[in-house]
Amino acid sequence: SQQGEEDPQALSIQEGENATMNCSYKTSINNLQWYRQNSGRGLVHLILIRSNEREKHSGRLRVTLDTSKKSSSLLITASRAADTASYFCATDAWGGTSYGKLTFGQGTILTVHP
């Protein structure tokens, strides 16, 4: 079953603008990860944030995690047309019976116009 929801479902912006995507989840987690998927392709791991972390950066990516609200956000700064893709959050549940089993959010389709 899906862990939670992402919003917005779709986001359309101009090159150079920032893009923010949000993710909510329902259960306690070990970590939360963000993935990118280009149309019809596999997923690429972007960034992982652990349950005891609040913010993490990687290049133009900034991820925040609020475990009290069970939510996370992904910010892509200075977006480029090549950032156009679907973005998914995924949670690795605490106490899960299968190590590494991920539950994915619904995803946000990001379109960056040149």
Q: How far is the CB of 4 from other proteins (least distance, A)?
A: 10
Q: How far is the CB of 75 from other proteins (least distance, A)?
A: 21
| Residues in touch with other proteins (CB under 8 A) | 1-2, 30-31, 33, 35, 40-45, 48, 88, 90, 92, 98-107
Closer residue to other proteins (CB): 26 or 104: 104
Is the sign of the CA dihedral 68, 2, 41, 110 positive or negative?
Answer: negative
In whole angstroms, give the CA distance from residue 40 to residue 21: 21
Q: Is residue 4 a contact partner of residue 107, using CB atoms and an 8 Å limit?
A: no
Closer residue to other proteins (CB): 42 or 114: 42
First to last CA, the chain: 36
